[in-house]
Amino acid sequence: MTGDNHGPDPAGLIPGHAGVAGRRVVITGAGRGLGSVLAAAFDAAGARLALVARSKPALEDVASRLSGDHLVCAGDVRDELFNDTVAEQMTERFGGVDVWIANAGVSREDPDITRMSAAAWREVIDTNLTGTFLGARAAAARMGAGGRIIVTGSVLGDRPHGRLAAYSASKGGVHALVRSLAQELGPREITANAVALGWFETGLGSFWQRDEQREQDIARHTALGRWGTDADLPGVYLFLASPAAAYITGTTITVDGGYSLL
């Protein structure tokens, strides 16, 4: 069904950077890897940012390479008070929160499941899943209509691998979380979506490239025949944060070069 008099101004639907200029965007895990790539992309698009990670020096280094005057928030996303503080500081500095990108995450190859410690399990689950929930909660409490919650998921959330039990479970959990958030926040015109990433050269994926045979096997198992690069990453996040994605919610968009097909 279509209507004649509803929807955003077509000028805001132009692909590229125009749709997020001036948007107030929180990016967790922004101190390195894929998070720093997203920070650069949203900065170039004219967004006002809060850069979040554990390491203040890492965040300051990222911020020094950006053109905007952005907020730097060092802390642990597993801490619910910290997430609330980030949202409060964003509101004090820029007047509110429009987009919360829950990108912070950890990954490690697990030992045999019979030897995996509860502490190792909790570190991954608490960072990747609980940290995402806490951030989404803090954001939703302050967002108005048009708000966006964007979560970094993984193809492993739907196609788990052995020896990656905690990581796979955490990403499967965030995929389910965005579906629940979408239903709850939809009446307030806030969307929630996940981006299921495949194997990227930057960030957590770089760990797996240390094994040359595994790196080649993954490339062969990908329809495009290669790993993802920095240039392949920001587009879908910029799109989901823009007016063009106003009617998309509760979904997981896969960005994996066709890894899931083979």
Spell out the domain ranges in the chain: 16-255
Beta bridge partners of 228: 200
Model confidence at 229: pLDDT above 80 = yes
Q: How far is residue 74 CA from its own chain's centroid?
A: 17
Whole-angstrom distance, CA of residue 127 vs CA of residue 134: 10
**3-class secondary-structure state, position 72:** strand
Whole-angstrom distance, CA of residue 246 vs CA of residue 244: 6
pLDDT tens-digit series, residues 54-92: 999 999 999 999 999 999 999 999 999 999 999 999 999
Tell me which DSSP letter residue 184 carries.
H
Rounded to the nearest integer, the mean pLDDT of the chain is 92
**Those residues with Cβ within 8 angstroms of residue 96's Cβ, 6 or more apart along the chain or in another chain:** 24, 90, 142, 143, 144
Give catalytic status of residue 259 as yes or no: no
Q: Pick the catalytic residue from 167, 237, 247, 259.
A: 167
pLDDT tens-digit series, residues 126-176: 999 999 999 999 999 999 999 999 999 999 999 998 889 999 999 999 999
φ/ψ of 194, rounded to 5, equals -120, 155
**Those residues with Cβ within 8 angstroms of residue 192's Cβ, 6 or more apart along the chain or in another chain:** 136, 148, 149, 150, 151, 177, 178, 179, 181, 182, 185, 249, 250
pLDDT value of residue 17? 55
pLDDT value of residue 118? 95
pTM: 0.92
Average pLDDT for residues 27-48, to the nearest whole number? 97
Express as a percent the part of the chain with pLDDT over 90.
Answer: 83
pLDDT tens-digit series, residues 242-252: 999 999 999 99
Beta bridge partners of 48: 24
pLDDT value of residue 211? 78
pLDDT value of residue 212? 85
Express as a percent the part of the chain with pLDDT over 70.
Answer: 90
**First vs last C-alpha separation in the chain:** 35
Whole-angstrom distance, CA of residue 203 vs CA of residue 223: 21
In terms of Cα–Cα distance, which of 120, 86, 118, 122 is closest to 102? Answer: 86
State the amino acid at position 244 in one-letter form: A
pLDDT tens-digit series, residues 184-210: 999 999 999 999 999 998 876 666 666
What is the dotted CATH code of the domain comprising 16-255? 3.40.50.720
Model confidence at 13: pLDDT above 70 = no
Model confidence at 48: pLDDT above 80 = yes
> Residue 180 corresponds to which tokens in the numbers above?
């629940």
State the amino acid at position 151 in one-letter form: V
